[in-house]
Structure 1
Amino acid sequence: MRIDKYLWCVRYYKTRNIATEACKKGHVAVNGQQVKPSREVYPTDVITLRRDQINYKLSVLDIPANRVGAKLVDIYRKDETPKEAFEHLALLKLAKEHYRAKGSGRPTKKDRRDIEDYTDDTLDFEDDNI
């Protein structure tokens, strides 16, 4: 089975076209080598793919005949993604919440005061060290 079709069948990508584009961009590797979408996948292959800022690692256990339900995906692959990758994603989401949303307009008075308080504190700290 083709790698793009396999990744679509085991629900890593919503459409086959998205899986094909990921292969073309070099986000998918089989046994450590970047692959084209037409690369055949066999049981015992190790697939590494990057999606949503997470490097997934999975082993092919079997080849499905067609797209499978979410509950049956574990029959065809073994997910070996380290837990640290998911923790890193959670930290990134928390960091993004801190910043203002793009296009949310000018800063409010409170935002300006917070910025001034922050810059005043850092300037005072630097003056003490001189």
Structure 2
Amino acid sequence: MGEKEKLRIDKYLWAIRVFKTRTLASDACKAGRIKLDGKNIKPSYEVKIGDVYHVAKGIERKVVKVTGLLENRVDAKTAVNFYEDITPVEQTQAFKSMFHAPVLKRDRGTGRPTKLERREIDDLKDNFFEEQEEENQD
């Protein structure tokens, strides 16, 4: 593909499909959500092969290692060849487990829960998360 000697970090993150637009990638850099060796980097920072970037995108955290420079945005199958996702497994599972949390619904028209009902709901939620942590440790 089109490899370059110099490539901006915002353009690189957009090209490998970490961010949907280059503007979002640039804004993330300006907000300090992209880090190299624990330091915030500007959108104009030049990417080098072998660098490891920590990307915070909402509640999702990724650790990306550069394996190749990609100038233009390509399909996802091709983009995977230009970076290596080295995010620790426990961070990946923690992010996914947030979407499997119990959703408790009350019947329509029953009103707000009483103090006793609210405590029972809290106990159910606490027990669910403790069980999930035990399963992840095994």
TM range (shorter): 0.7 to 0.9
1:86 partnered with 2:92: yes
Structure 2 CA distance, aligned partners of 1:12 and 1:47?
Answer: 12
Cα shift at 1:33: 1.8
1:56 maps to what in 2?
Answer: 62
More deviation, 78-87/41-50 = 78-87
2:131 maps to what in 1?
Answer: none
1:109 maps to what in 2?
Answer: 110
2:35 maps to what in 1?
Answer: 29
**TM-score of the pair, normalised by structure 2:** 0.70
Structure 1 CA distance, aligned partners of 2:116 and 2:110?
Answer: 10
Question: Once the two structures are aligned, what percentage of the paired residues are identical?
Answer: 31
Q: 1:81 to 1:108 in 2, by over 3 A?
A: same
Higher relative contact order (CA 8 A, sep 6+): 2
8 Å CA contact 1:48–1:57 kept in 2: the answer is yes
Q: Which digits, 9 at most, give the CA deviation of each residue in 1:56-111, with x for residues without a partner?
A: 1011011013112100112110110112122212332234x5367xxxxxx73175
* Largest Rg, 1 or 2: 1
**CA-based RMSD:** 2.5
Cα shift at 1:31: 3.2
1:98 partnered with 2:103: yes
Structure 1 CA distance, aligned partners of 2:119 and 2:73?
Answer: 55
2:13 maps to what in 1?
Answer: 7
Between Structure 1 and Structure 2, how many residues are aligned? 113
Q: Which runs of 5+ in 2 are unaligned?
A: 1-6, 123-138
Structure 2 CA distance, aligned partners of 1:4 and 1:119?
Answer: 47
Q: Which runs of 5+ in 1 are unaligned?
A: 101-106, 123-130
Q: Which digits, 9 at most, give the CA deviation of each residue in 1:39-60, with x for residues without a partner?
A: 0101011111011312210110
